[in-house]
Structure 1
Amino acid sequence: MRRDGAGGPPPGGRFAVLDPATGEAFGEAPDQGARDVDAAVARAHDAWRSWRADPAARAAALLAAADAVEAAGADLAPLLTREQGKPLTESYAEIARTAARLRHFAAAAPEPRAITDGRPVRSELRWRSLGPVAAVVPWNFPLQLASAKFAPALAAGNTVVLKPSPYTPLATRLLGSVLSSVLPEGVLTVVTGRDPLGALLASHPGVRHVTFTGSAATGRAVAAGAAGGLARVTLELGGNDAAILLDDVDVERIADRLFRAAFRNCGQVCMAVKRVYAPRRLYPRVVEALAERAKAAVVGPGLDPGTELGPVNNAAQLARVERYTGRALADGARAAAGGHRLDRPGYFHAPTVLADVPPGSPVVVEEQFGPVLPVLPYGSLDEAVEAANGTRFGLGGSVWGTDEDRAEEVAGRLECGTAWINHHAELSLAQPFAGVKESGVGVAGGPWGLYGNLSPFVVHRLRPDPS
């Protein structure tokens, strides 16, 4: 199925890719449009016919793909750091996670099973792939989030058209080239470009499943576009995770762990800690401990050895962080650490810990997605839980305290998809990952992610008459 090719950038155009550590262009990528999407989906559909037919061959190809990704790590990691900004060690970790996910899903095969209900009918449940899958990926974890979409989709027998963010297309293009050396032609195609490329892909009539990670606003638009062809959608959207500290928490013991849960990848993590609620009695100590850790953090280009926090990825996101921080300070908040952009080239912002923040401030109720952490006091535990649940998001949350049974009881009251005790944002490849409220639709991870890329197919047979 094709469009008429209208709309989008002219064929053959290119766009610049910036290094967030300098703000300067260092590369470029194809600015593709509707004709390119048509061609990619057509190739995916053609490849699907044979790719879906041989589970053993698929598993072998995914294992080979994992090996190829690892072998290309020395090329992928510096490129990822240049365009995304994260420290080089984190880029290598992202590549390792990508390879691990390919191996995990290579071993995940849906099995048929019999269904009986006492009637003289034998029913067998089987599973069928869907067809071409559109994977639209953001800029914070370009390779890891891409593999979270294409690994289960490919393992299920689907083919994939992958569109990275225009802020981080280069490492994904290189990844696509690496994978094309071991996967059949058309099984995985990377398309790059600026708006409206993602919308063109998500609404393409030949796509049978759209899997998207990004903001809730864009997720709504993706779902509306996919609805035209009644394609299945999986939406992994924003988060505003709260960490509740109980009154028995050992502040000094958990401060470093809590800081890293909030500021990893410069705070640009959907399931990062984005708000901390501390008992009023411990509030000054919590603010001080987190502020000291923020002041000690080494901020610099991701390629520099020793860098702990890189830059914010792009100018628009840095402006958002500055706007939320400035609004909070204007409304009476205090910057216990940071509170400002750093005076250097690139998109650097000081690691910021905010105290005395008005509870309704945008930096509290919205997803700031940057190196800024508001810390708020609470009186009663009921008050803390109500505040933690008081946003439109519901991705994750955590509870921190010495009595872990009590912490787990409190965690059970959080309105979110995942809750952690005394840590945050750590996931197993085997577990489901989902959100409630405006944090998403559908489930990723583990067998749930695999079956989300499959359609049930039931075969009924009459049993022989025993007479």
Structure 2
Amino acid sequence: MSTTADRTDLNSSQLDLAIAELVEGSERWGATPLAARGELLARTAASVSDEAERWVAAAARAKGLDPSSVLIGEEWLTGPYGVLTSLNALGRTLRALNSGRSPLAGQRFGRAPGGRVTVSVLPHNAWDGLLLHGFSARAWLRPGVTVGRARVSAGLGQLAPTVASGVGLVLGAGNISSIAPLDVLYELVAHNRVSILKLNPTFDNLLPIYRAALAPLIEQGLLRIVTGGADVGDYLAHHSGISHVHITGSAATHDSIVFGGSKTPRLGKPISSELGGVSPIIVLPGRWSPQDLRYQAEHVATMRLHNGGYNCIAGQVLVLSADWPQKRAFLDAVAAALAAAPPRPAWYPGSDERMRAASAAYPAAQSIPGGRLLVAASASTEDMLATEYFAPVLGVVELPGAGQAFLDSVVETVNRDFLGTLGANILGVPATIRRLGAGFEQAVARLRYGTIAINAWTGVGFLSAAAPWGAFPGHTLDNVQSGIGVVHNALLLDDVERTVVRGPFRPFPRSVLHGEWALLPKPPWFVSSRSGTLTARLLTDFAAHPSARKLPRILAAAFRA
């Protein structure tokens, strides 16, 4: 079905019409029973699956990737795969609510420092437990929230499905192709809000793909998709028919919409946001084998270079102990891993300018083949800690000490000096973490980040459909940092504080040889994975049509990484 709102270069009257159509759709959604909502999500999953091949090809073209590139796997995982797993997880939540059960029925609860209640969000099903063996994630609820409160409040807008929240504007991200559809889905299910989605111009060529993939939502009047520049976004944000704005992007764009150059807000409606920041990669000193140094160096290269470094959650600053005897060996391994990563175009607008700015700010930076920079910074509020470069720039900060004293110093430094609160990564030998014991867990609790990944990348939290994703709570319009609110969160948890992801320090088989119960080899999202594209494509097909018969081929591909 083609609508007036599917065309590019819309004028104000066409935008007005699109919003009017969505008002009718909002009323229709309020009258839609939970069972029918679940069926709609299932139909949408089928159409996303049908468009997956074209989706990936279009995203690759937008990023200048050759169709034969080993990096195409990134577009599968962060495109149709991410949307399919979310649709499946949201559908499962709707089925639970429709049967009169809490979405948390059967979920494992735990405790974190401060008496916080935690909810297991990965694995979300039996398939996760096998395909991501060794990885787990827990959502930490805010202090004082009880298990009983968590159970009765899980469901958010679907607990009162007839109460519609009007028409929202979703300002889509321009770096990861699943973000805009995921934001639309969360608005619809978590908040009973239909959406007009304005694409970021970098993804304008995906308009026909999104239109086809999300056709069931469009046909029901729950979604309209438009393109255009900042003027279109500004017109929609301040339109009287829009009840809420959600943006994934930069703090500067957020402030432009909210304040428009003034000191007081001019946006007369709520806004939620996911805005990135400067993500630390905290390295705990310990005794690392040569294999550990190489593997974790590839891990760091992935955190920085995935999607070319154009990720809100890209690791930007390594935080090391100045007294770690293996510091130099690790930095050499990181430089080698950065150099060995597959080349790719500097495709995101402004990348060259940001790279030149980093080079000017740090003339002694090490230039890495492939247009990458390794920067030795200091633990102060200088550019590397206060600027999200959104480019392949990796900083290095050294702090003195070892053990708990070092970790406590790091927590204080990153909380105080690093821009944003979206995500932090911690790498450490399991024996080191065990020795720290309760002190380690207390340090994690003091880190003010929305997602914390321990021996994993926070990107795993982003791709876990049931995991809440967003900044640490407490930001305000005039100090927005990494944003306000959460997305994804397929269990529809209320009162979320953060997500904590845990992974294996070593891949299989070394993980088992060293006492870690983890059967996953090098993950397919590593930039050094040789079979990442095939594995990601097979995982996407599995997400669309799960079957035990498909597992052997997926695992065989994964083990060729």
Q: Write 1 or 2 for the structure with the bigger share of strand.
A: 1
| Residue aligning to 1:433 | 469
For the residues of structure 1 that align with 2:287 and 2:243, how far apart are their CA atoms?
A: 48
| Residue aligning to 1:423 | 456
Which letter maps to 2:420?
A: F
Deviation at 1:335, TM superposition (A): 0.4
Change (3 A) 1:58 1:185: same
Paired residues for 1:386-401 under 5 Å: 386-389=412-415, 390-401=417-428
Indicate whether 1:278 and 2:309 are aligned.
Answer: no
Q: Which stretch shows the higher mean deviation, 99-108 or 178-187?
A: 178-187
Preserved contact between residue 381 and residue 418 of structure 2 (Cα < 8 Å) = no
1:155 maps to which of 189, 195, 213? 189
Paired residues for 1:227-242 under 5 Å: 230-242=268-280
Which letter maps to 1:394?
A: T
Q: Which stretch shows the higher mean deviation, 413-422 or 125-134?
A: 125-134
For the residues of structure 2 that align with 1:38 and 1:450, how far apart are their CA atoms?
A: 34
Q: Secondary structure at the match of 2:456?
A: coil
Aligned-CA RMSD value:
3.0
Deviations, residues 134-174 of structure 1 (Å, cap 9, x unaligned): 11112111x31112211122335432111111121121442
Paired residues for 1:165-180 under 5 Å: 165-180=200-215
Paired residues for 1:159-238 under 5 Å: 159-180=194-215, 183-224=218-259, 230-238=268-276
Indicate the percent of aligned positions where both proteins have the same amino acid: 24
Indicate whether 1:71 and 2:50 are aligned.
Answer: yes
Change (3 A) 1:249 1:67: farther
Deviation at 1:290, TM superposition (A): 0.6
Q: Secondary structure at the match of 1:41?
A: helix
Which letter maps to 1:41?
A: I
Which letter maps to 2:366?
A: A
For the residues of structure 2 that align with 1:311 and 1:409, how far apart are their CA atoms?
A: 42
TM-score where L is the length of structure 1: 0.77
Indicate whether 1:37 and 2:15 are aligned.
Answer: yes
Change (3 A) 1:368 1:379: same
Deviation at 1:182, TM superposition (A): 6.3
Deviation at 1:40, TM superposition (A): 1.5
Change (3 A) 1:166 1:267: same
Which letter maps to 1:232?
A: P
Q: Secondary structure at the match of 1:441?
A: coil
For the residues of structure 2 that align with 1:66 and 1:361, how far apart are their CA atoms?
A: 45
Change (3 A) 1:41 1:83: same
Deviation at 1:31, TM superposition (A): 2.6
Change (3 A) 1:311 1:36: farther
TM-score where L is the length of structure 2: 0.64
For the residues of structure 1 that align with 2:398 and 2:267, how far apart are their CA atoms?
A: 48
Change (3 A) 1:378 1:247: same
| Residue aligning to 1:20 | none
Paired residues for 1:259-408 under 5 Å: 259-280=301-322, 281=324, 282-299=326-343, 310-329=344-363, 333-335=364-366, 337-338=368-369, 350-355=371-376, 359-380=380-401, 381=406, 382-389=408-415, 390-402=417-429, 403-405=432-434, 406=436, 407-408=440-441
For the residues of structure 2 that align with 1:146 and 1:264, how far apart are their CA atoms?
A: 19
For the residues of structure 1 that align with 2:448 and 2:287, how far apart are their CA atoms?
A: 22
Q: Secondary structure at the match of 1:134?
A: strand
Change (3 A) 1:214 1:293: same
| Residue aligning to 1:145 | 179
1:410 maps to which of 418, 437, 443? 443
Deviation at 1:34, TM superposition (A): 2.6
Deviations, residues 407-464 of structure 1 (Å, cap 9, x unaligned): 5443333221111111122112112222135111112222576879xxxxxxxxxxxx
| Residue aligning to 1:122 | none
Deviation at 1:57, TM superposition (A): 1.9
For the residues of structure 1 that align with 2:73 and 2:354, how far apart are their CA atoms?
A: 27
| Residue aligning to 1:104 | 89
Change (3 A) 1:32 1:320: farther
Preserved contact between residue 58 and residue 205 of structure 2 (Cα < 8 Å) = yes
Deviation at 1:223, TM superposition (A): 3.6
Which letter maps to 1:244?
A: I
Paired residues for 1:448-467 under 5 Å: none
Deviation at 1:284, TM superposition (A): 1.5
Which letter maps to 2:468?
A: P
| Residue aligning to 1:442 | 485
Preserved contact between residue 83 and residue 170 of structure 1 (Cα < 8 Å) = yes
For the residues of structure 1 that align with 2:167 and 2:348, how far apart are their CA atoms?
A: 31
For the residues of structure 1 that align with 2:258 and 2:76, how far apart are their CA atoms?
A: 33
Q: Which stretch shows the higher mean deviation, 188-197 or 79-88?
A: 79-88
Change (3 A) 1:78 1:186: same
Q: Secondary structure at the match of 1:30?
A: coil
Q: Which stretch shows the higher mean deviation, 416-425 or 246-255?
A: 246-255
2:61 maps to which of 82, 87, 93? 82
Deviation at 1:353, TM superposition (A): 2.0
For the residues of structure 2 that align with 1:317 and 1:386, how far apart are their CA atoms?
A: 31
Preserved contact between residue 328 and residue 357 of structure 1 (Cα < 8 Å) = no
Preserved contact between residue 82 and residue 465 of structure 2 (Cα < 8 Å) = no
Deviations, residues 248-290 of structure 1 (Å, cap 9, x unaligned): 1633342111221121111111112110011113332222111
Preserved contact between residue 163 and residue 198 of structure 1 (Cα < 8 Å) = yes
For the residues of structure 2 that align with 1:325 and 1:279, how far apart are their CA atoms?
A: 25
Structure 2, unaligned stretches of length 5 or more? 66-70, 102-147, 150-158, 476-480, 496-561
Larger Rg: 1
Q: Secondary structure at the match of 1:394?
A: coil
Preserved contact between residue 64 and residue 345 of structure 2 (Cα < 8 Å) = yes
| Residue aligning to 2:282 | 244
1:47 maps to which of 25, 47, 68? 25
For the residues of structure 1 that align with 2:485 and 2:181, how far apart are their CA atoms?
A: 17
Deviations, residues 309-349 of structure 1 (Å, cap 9, x unaligned): x32333423212221233212xxx330624xxxxxxxxxx6
Q: State how many pairs are aligned.
A: 394
